[in-house]
Amino acid sequence: MNRFIFFLLCATLFLLPLPLGSYRPWAILAMGILISATFFTHLVYSSINNEHPLYPPLYSWPIFTVLGIVAGVCAVQIFTVSVDPFQTKQMLIKTSFMILFCWLLFIYCNTEKRIKNLIYAIISAGVFQALYATYLNLSPDIISPLFGYKHTERAIGTFTYSNFLANFLALCLCLGIGVLVSELKRSTSDYKQTLKQTLRAWTEILLSSKIILRISLIIIIVALILTRSRMGNSAFFIALMVV
């Protein structure tokens, strides 16, 4: 059950960008139902297994405090005065779902391996968005298979605006580069490798997961450029130069 709930969390992160970036009210509700079902599964699992924690660790409570304040402010505005009551209700619903999702993340992403798998799920979503956006951008006569959304000259993927896709791809790139940096291995030996050792090292690199990650990052970078988003491209490359 523990692994199943973690799989649902990874699947949720992969599915979030698909329904037009989960920006529409119906998409928010659909993702919220999935998150609520996962949270209910967590409650059932915690009630059956007494050793499994019901609450997230203490170090995460400051985040829940901030989210709780945002939800409280929205709730107060609903019953008093709000400039846009519909947006206030929508923000309250989104914040509530976010609290549930963060609750699950802090409980089930508690090891280095699971955190890395969660990052891989986000990068996989980025690769899918990059391939999908590139395909549509290079095939202007094809209507988007997902929801039949109108195609533009800029790559948008399953989002509704190029800047949304650019920001999502930049996030995936930052996570992917972080994983690459964390897996760097430096050799302290000074001896010269033989041809056989060199070929073996290159074979290990080509067959390892790192080469797949690097190819994935290249695909995402190409899609990021195709978005023609000045904000997304400049933000990513400036951050890359600073790092």
Give me the residue label for tokens 């901030």: 66
Count other C-beta atoms under 10 Å from residue 135's C-beta: 15
**In the chain, where the domains are located:** 1-109, 111-185+194-243
Tokens of 158: 């399953």
pLDDT per position as a tens digit, 8-46: 999 999 999 998 888 888 989 999 999 999 999 999 999
DSSP state of 111: S
CB-based burial, 83-118: b 16+ in 10 Å, e otherwise:
eeeeebbebbbbbbbbbbbebbbbbbbeeeebeeeb
The per-residue DSSP string of 50-110 comes to TTS-SS--GGGHHHHHHHHHHHHHHHHHHHS--S-HHHHHHHHHHHHHHHHHHHHHHHH--
Run of H or E including 28: helix 25-48
Q: Is 233 exposed, middle or buried (0-12, 13-18, 19+ CB in 10 A)?
A: middle
Distance in angstroms (rounded) separating the CA atoms of residues 128 and 17: 10
Distances (CA, A) of 114 to 42, 100, 106, 111, 153: 17, 19, 11, 5, 38
Q: Is the pTM of this model over 0.95?
A: no
Q: Which residues contact 217 (CB under 8 A, 6 or more apart)?
A: 123, 173, 176, 177, 180
Angle (CA) 49 53 56, round 5° = 155
**Does residue 107 contact residue 45 with C-beta atoms inside 8 Å?**
no
**pLDDT, one tens digit for every residue, the chain (243 residues):** 889 999 999 999 999 999 888 888 898 999 999 999 999 999 999 999 888 888 999 999 999 999 999 999 988 988 888 788 888 898 999 999 999 999 999 999 989 899 999 999 999 999 999 999 998 888 877 777 777 766 778 888 888 888 999 999 999 999 998 888 787 655 445 556 677 777 776 676 666 667 888 899 999 999 999 998 888 888 888 877 876
